[in-house]
Amino acid sequence: MFWTAGRVLAAVQPDLDLTMLAEETTALEAVVDHDRVIQELFALAPVLPLRFATVFSSADALSEHLLAHQDLYLARLDQLQDRVEFTLRLTPVVLAPTVANAAEGRAYFQQRKQQYQQVQDRQQQQRAEQEHLFTHLQTLGVHYVLEGERVHLLVPRALGVFLIPLTHWEVTLTGPLPPYHFV
Amino acid sequence: MSEPVKVAPAQAGLAPLVLTLIELIRQLMEAQVIRQMDQELLTEAQVNAAATSLIAMENQVLRLCETFGIDPQDLNLDLGEVGKLLPDRGAYYPGQPSPQASILELLDRLLTTGVVLQGEVDLGVAGLDLVHARLYLMLSTHTSLRTPPHATP
């Protein structure tokens, strides 16, 4: 159901049985439902996805919270008005060194150093390419949050292509998503 | 020369484990040779002999892998947060920084600086304690034993 307080409209589940969050199966279903509601609302209007299992003890407590944070939430919604989130997964392309392995004597050991140097050079190229991508995103006004191999991007909705071709990374792009990581 | 006898992978038993251990030791020796070679502690004849032996060992491991139907890539173990048992090819060079952790690198660095192990081991079977061993073990390389500690790389 929807709950209004001041100028904020919140989607809430009333009379929540907290014991269901303790059960793994029902908790998982609740997480999926929570995400589904966010996705459906996001398709209609800007949303602020609150953390799963944000619980209020009563309707009055909910109203109090919304009124207390009204200005903050409205300002954030305004900032996110025309933006969507994408998740970018960057996986380094791993190439075996091309320096041959068959040799004799000192050359056999020197090839180990050449292989090491080749790997170091490739990793340097990967870092440079990644930095170039982030600089490019910044110039487009795209905000990003790094999380391991994943990069969460907050992209202006009007922006078409915002990635550049990468040769040293495998790229997987997921989205558009609600702004989960920019609330 | 006759074709080598091939064993079904299901019958390989402990062979993968033994071959993994041999490959670990082989790569560890290779790393130590490289360290000594880079410090110019070896003659050309010693370098050549070491290379010949290490190549022969590698070929032997590969031949045994073929016999037992083992993919040589499977000799490397992914140990999760600890890293891999063996570094990927080109990922580690003795004495150089390495972005990818591996047990081989750890052992190589420990051997180079030297390490003392102290502990007790009980060996047994079917709940019976049969052998009790008290260990005071020092692992090091010949080079680091001959070199003052502050001069060890």
A:B CB pairs within 8 Å: 52
Prediction ipTM score: 0.74
Total domain count, chain A: 2
Distance from CA of A131 to the nearest CA of B (A): 18
Q: Which B residues in the span 44-63 are in contact with A, Cβ-Cβ below 8 Å?
A: 44, 47-48, 51-52, 54-55
A134 and A173 housed in the same domain: yes
A130 and A61 housed in the same domain: no
A64 and A112 housed in the same domain: no
> Backbone dihedral region of A181: left (phi > 0), alpha (psi from -120 to 50 degrees) or beta?
alpha
A62 and A111 housed in the same domain: no
DSSP assignment letter at B139: E
Final residue belonging to a domain, choices A15, A48, A79 = A79
Q: What is the dihedral of CA A141, A142, A143, A144, to 10 degrees?
A: -150
A21 and A91 housed in the same domain: no
Inter-chain residue contact A104 with B52, CB threshold 8 Å: yes
Structural domain including A123 reads: 83-182
A65 and A106 housed in the same domain: no
Please tell me the predicted confidence (pLDDT) of residue A79.
Answer: 86
Residue B122 falls within a domain, yes or no? Answer: no
A147 and A68 housed in the same domain: no
Provide the token pair at A121. 């050079």
Inter-chain residue contact A109 with B51, CB threshold 8 Å: yes
Q: How many residues would you count in chain B?
A: 153
CA angle B90, B95, B99 (to 5 degrees): 50
Structural domain including B85 reads: 9-110
Q: What are phi and psi of A55, to 5 degrees?
A: -120, 140
* Percentage with pLDDT > 70 across chain B: 87
Q: What is the helix (H) or strand (E) element at residue A119, kind and residue range?
A: helix A105-139
Final residue belonging to a domain, choices A56, A79, A102 = A79
Inter-chain residue contact A104 with B48, CB threshold 8 Å: yes
A136 and A103 housed in the same domain: yes
Is any Cβ of chain A less than 8 angstroms from the Cβ of B34? Answer: yes
Tell me the pLDDT of chain B averaged across its residues.
Answer: 86
Provide the token pair at A175. 């989205």
Residues of B whose CB is below 8 A from A107: 51
A9 and A90 housed in the same domain: no
Task: List, run by run, the mean pLDDT of 10-residue segments along chain A (183 residues).
Answer: 83 82 84 89 88 85 89 89 91 76 81 91 92 92 88 87 88 89 84
Provide the token pair at A142. 């795209």
Q: Is A181 helix (H, G, I), strand (E, B) or coil?
A: helix
A65 and A113 housed in the same domain: no
Distance from CA of A106 to the nearest CA of B (A): 6
pTM of the model: 0.69
Final residue belonging to a domain, choices A26, A54, A79 = A79
Tokens 């499977």 sit at which residue? B74
CA–CA gap between residue A30 and residue A25 (Å, rounded): 9
B40, B55, B57: best to mutate for the A interface, most A CBs within 10 A: B55
Inter-chain residue contact B44 with A105, CB threshold 8 Å: yes
Please tell me the predicted confidence (pLDDT) of residue B106.
Answer: 92
Would you write out chain B's pLDDT as a tens digit for each of its 153 residues? 556 566 666 666 788 899 999 999 999 999 999 999 999 999 999 999 999 999 999 999 999 999 988 888 889 988 888 889 999 888 899 989 887 889 999 999 998 988 888 999 888 888 888 999 898 888 888 777 776 555 544
Total domain count, chain B: 1
Nearest to B37 by CA among A131, A105, A80, A1: A105
Q: Which residues contact B141 (CB under 8 A, 6 or more apart)?
A: B32, B35, B111, B112, B114
A73 and A27 housed in the same domain: yes
A56 and A132 housed in the same domain: no
Distance from CA of A105 to the nearest CA of B (A): 4
